[in-house]
Amino acid sequence: MAHSRLGLADGWGKIQNFRLNQDRSMLVSCQQSGVRIYNVDPIREQSHYKESQIGSVSTAELLYRTNLFAIVSGGPNPKYADNSVMLFDDRAGRPVIEITLTSPVLAVRMRMDKIIAVCRTSIHVFSFPTNPTKLFSIETRDNPQGLCEVTPGKLCEKELLVFPGFKVGSIQLLDIHNITGVSCAPTCINAHRSELTCLAINQQGTMVATASTKGTLIRIWDTVKRVQLVELRRGADPARIYCINFSLSGEWLCCSSDKGTVHVFALQDYRLNKRSALATMGVPGAYAGSQWSLASFTVPQECACICSFGKDCTIQAVCMDASYHKYSFSPEGICNQIGYDVITELCQDCDWYAMRGDS
């Protein structure tokens, strides 16, 4: 899931980045004046750190629904170096682990036993949580967005790390579960002809979604057979895709872009997706045969937005203007708004540890 770094001026300073946790139930908002952590559904602030406590933050990663989260400083008033990953214990309200690298860290990914730091031309994997030790590093293509995802599910046999390949538009897949096998060359898939702009991996690690700078198509890949499963069309005009997410079951996929529309696609029953009118006329070609979204709804245009699925065919979107949108959708393509809020106006009004569910 790729996030734009567009900002918003509000009482808490500009929002620099959003990141959902691994099961999409929590959200961290990185701001020029601190960090806020939210429960997504219902949307509610759970914790926050002011600039005096944590400085300005460029990116962060939550560890499921635990009390641990990682940050990388950035922006006008950083408290820590931009080449350091600071792991915070929210129960203690302070950092407990620091990992320092030789170059700025652009993204962090976490599993229960690993921390992954993404730099512009390299990725570094560390053991976790006791005595973090570097397990291995891998050189990458120039990766200014810090694109990288790892299988989010807790109990997956495969812990796939997905990142841009050396060839334009390609991705590399590396199973990091068995560290002794890291010496093996990563699997490479030629996904697009243009540079990648967005990646996503499902909970089970069996599917990867990719999008390029062109932004018209999303391609879904089988990580075992290394073949394309389906090509989904976001639209006909070029766009900047901000986010792609699978539902927890892998039945649905959503995406958002600078066109101000969030799209929902079916992945288990492709017949639910819409087809171009040209297809019914028998016109040949990839465009005519494209699968279009079965449902969609609008959010503020040209405003970076992340989207994810909730329970019972619901979908949430959180935008850089701090707006929160919740919709229900049906397999028939009916989409209805069932919730709206402004997250910067929410107060910390409940017990974070009681809501979190574990520690």
What is the H or E stretch that residue 158 is in? none
Task: Output the CA–CA distances (angstroms, integers) from residue 107 to 28, 46, 348, in the order listed.
Answer: 13, 23, 27
Task: Output the CA–CA distances (angstroms, integers) from residue 180 to 77, 139, 151, 184, 268, in the order listed.
Answer: 41, 18, 19, 9, 35
pLDDT of residue 290: 83
Q: CA nearest 256: which of 241, 246, 239?
A: 241
**What percent of the chain shows pLDDT beyond 70?**
87
CB 158 within 8 A of CB 176: no
CB 306 within 8 A of CB 315: no
Quote the tokens at residue 122: 């390299």
| pLDDT above 70 for 209 | yes
The beta-strand segments (E) located in 101-224 are: 107-111, 114-118, 122-127, 134-139, 149-150, 160-164, 170-175, 187-190, 196-201, 207-212, 217-222
What's the average model confidence in pLDDT over 216-230? 96
- pLDDT by residue (tens digit) across 56-68? 999 999 999 999 9
pLDDT of residue 287: 58
The DSSP bridge pattern shows strands 187-190 and 34-39 to be unpaired
| pLDDT above 70 for 26 | yes
- pLDDT by residue (tens digit) across 120-166? 999 999 998 878 899 999 999 999 999 999 999 876 767 999 999 99
Q: Which fold would CATH assign to domain 15-351? A: Methylamine Dehydrogenase; Chain H (2.130.10)
Q: How far apart are CA 169 and CA 196, in angstroms?
A: 5
pLDDT of residue 294: 97
What's the average model confidence in pLDDT over 102-119? 96
Phi, psi of 221 (to 5 degrees): -120, 140
What's the average model confidence in pLDDT over 9-20? 71
Question: Domain residue spans in the chain?
Answer: 15-351
Other beta carbons less than 10 A from residue 190's beta carbon: 11
pLDDT of residue 342: 95
What's the average model confidence in pLDDT over 206-220? 97
pLDDT of residue 32: 86
Residue 276 pLDDT class (50, 70, 90 cuts): confident
pLDDT of residue 349: 47
Between residues 125 and 287, which one has the greater pLDDT?
125
pLDDT of residue 5: 35
| pLDDT above 50 for 6 | no
Q: How far apart are CA 53 and CA 90, in angstroms?
A: 12
pLDDT of residue 282: 53
Q: How far apart are CA 17 and CA 106, in angstroms?
A: 11
Q: Provide the residue type at 263 as one letter.
A: H
Q: What is the DSSP string of 205-234?
A: SSEEEEEETT-SEEEEEETTTTEEEEEEE-
CB 41 within 8 A of CB 310: yes
CB 206 within 8 A of CB 220: no
Residue 25 pLDDT class (50, 70, 90 cuts): very high
Q: CA nearest 90: which of 34, 45, 40, 48?
A: 48
Between residues 157 and 3, which one has the greater pLDDT?
157
